[in-house]
Amino acid sequence: MSDVKRVAILGAESSGKSTLAHALAFQYNTLWVPEYLRDFVDIHARVPDESDQYGIARTQMEREDAACAKASRFLFCDTTPLMTGVYSRWYWGRVDAQLALLERRHDYAFTLVTALDSPWQADGLQRESEQVRQSVHALLIENLQQRAIPYLLVSGSLHQRVLQAGRLINPA
């Protein structure tokens, strides 16, 4: 069993997850796992449909598991199957059985949620609107609370977010 603590970084679109994951990995001299959905969109030149959701979440977990073997102390995960499940609920009103199993495997040492205090930015095919971002954020918070998953809402500048995360994952 690995001594590496996995840190889930969750949030709606355009909320700074990737930037935070990269900064934390740099801060702690370890690895981060980028969001596979970005690669999916680039490879397929389209947004995913419902039948793609399980494969996206599975690939995200496979990349996370592979990186965990090489990480030191922490592994920062830019999204998890839980977030894929949130988007499935938002777009299709349900989560298929296979994705639901992956989504339940939310066994991270820490969960960070990025606040919506940065401006929304269009990102090609992947991002929709500020309204969708706010709705997805609310659905994420509701999901975490219903499942009693403790989380820290990080906000402010990147520097402030890194400091807030550090106080949680590596207290003095």
State which residues form the domain around 79: 5-169
Q: How confident is the model at residue 124 (pLDDT cuts 50, 70, 90)?
A: low
Cα-flanking dihedrals φ and ψ of residue 43, to 5°? -65, -45
List beta partners, residue 113. 10, 153
pLDDT score of 17 more than 90? yes
Element (H, E) at 86: helix 81-92
pLDDT score of 172 more than 80? no
Closest CA to 157 of 16, 22, 24, 14: 16
Task: Return the pLDDT at 127.
Answer: 54
pLDDT score of 101 more than 60? yes
What are the pLDDT digits (tens) for 43-98?
Answer: 888 888 999 999 999 999 999 999 999 999 999 999 999 999 999 999 899 999 99
Mean pLDDT in residue range 24-42: 93
Query: Counting Cβ atoms within 10 Å, is residue 5 exposed (0-12), middle (13-18) or buried (19+)?
Result: middle
Mean pLDDT in residue range 9-18: 91
Q: How confident is the model at residue 41 (pLDDT cuts 50, 70, 90)?
A: confident
Task: Return the pLDDT at 120.
Answer: 64
Contacts of 23 (CB under 8 A, 6+ apart): 158, 161, 162
Strands (E), the chain: 5-10, 31-33, 74-78, 110-114, 152-154
Mean pLDDT in residue range 112-119: 90
pTM: 0.91
Domain count of the fold of the chain: 1
The three-class DSSP label of residue 137 is helix
Q: How confident is the model at residue 151 (pLDDT cuts 50, 70, 90)?
A: very high
Mean pLDDT in residue range 23-51: 92
Q: How confident is the model at residue 106 (pLDDT cuts 50, 70, 90)?
A: confident
CA distance 74 to 16: 19
Residue type, 9: I
Q: What's the CATH number where 103 sits?
A: 3.40.50.300
Contacts of 79 (CB under 8 A, 6+ apart): 8, 9, 10, 17, 35, 37, 60
CA distance 143 to 121: 25
